[in-house]
Amino acid sequence: MQPIPFYKMSGSGNDFIIIDHRTPLLPPLPAAQFVAKVCRRRMSVGADGLILIEKSETVDFKWRFFNSDGSVAEMCGNGARCAARFAFLNGIAPEVLAFETDAGVIQARVTGDQVRIKMSAPHDLVLNDAVIVAGYPLPISRVNTGVPHVVMEVKDLPRANVKSVGREIRTHEQFAPAGTNVNFVAPLGDDLWGIRTYERGVEDETLACGTGNVAAALVLALRHGIPSPITFKTLSGTCLKVFFQREGERFSEVHLEGDARLIYTGQVGPEAWDYDG
């Protein structure tokens, strides 16, 4: 088995292994198993997810996106920005490009290490809902921005029980069988919002979640009348900006903008995925 070249990229602290897979390179084992092995931190490369860039018959390329546990996700905003810049850096696509995902065709524009993507149309938006956790109703809103998200407004974001409460909601029967991502948001002042996210598939809090920022922006726009764009400070310390057009409770032209940085390039060989544990 020849070593597999890859890029390690970060979108606001969400990190990804990206492989040019237009010519198939993966070893002869289930893709989910390969992904879970190489995304395991300290045992292999380590990442929040893995992206395969493949050929498309209609647009610049298509991707296959995997969470770090090997599960497939329809969409990932931070991953989409990294995939777009990867394609530009490798001559696969121009600065303005489009690619296929399971959530639809995503359009992107690359400007240096900043990438702006047009999101697929949000759906299943429900405001002022509730979920029972430990016998108590928690006020939530929810929306699908390519993947399902719950949004909770909290008063003290640093002290929010993101891991414990997030895990309970992520696997709650109310969102079975697919589960949901869970976002905690609070105002930081000066038109800036803080956000923390428990991500499905990673099964932990991550430093950022692009689709979660979009979900939070749409909920805040409806609940508080906040105009576009809305800026969020993520746990990584970097900011993501969400743009949209709103007519009543309907949204269009939803865009996400933020960094997509190349961290390093390398090659993985069999010892990166052929180990016990």
Catalytic residues: 76, 209
b/e for 171-205, b at 16 or more Cβ within 10 A?
A: ebeebeeebbbbbbbbeeeeeebbbbbbbbbbbeb
Angular region, 46: left φ>0, alpha ψ -120 to 50, beta rest: left
Say how many C-beta atoms besides its own lie within 10 A of residue 277's C-beta.
Answer: 5
SS3 (DSSP) at 35: helix
User: Is the CB of residue 233 less than 8 Å from the CB of residue 188?
Assistant: yes
Shortest CA distance to 79 belongs to which of 56, 101, 57? 101
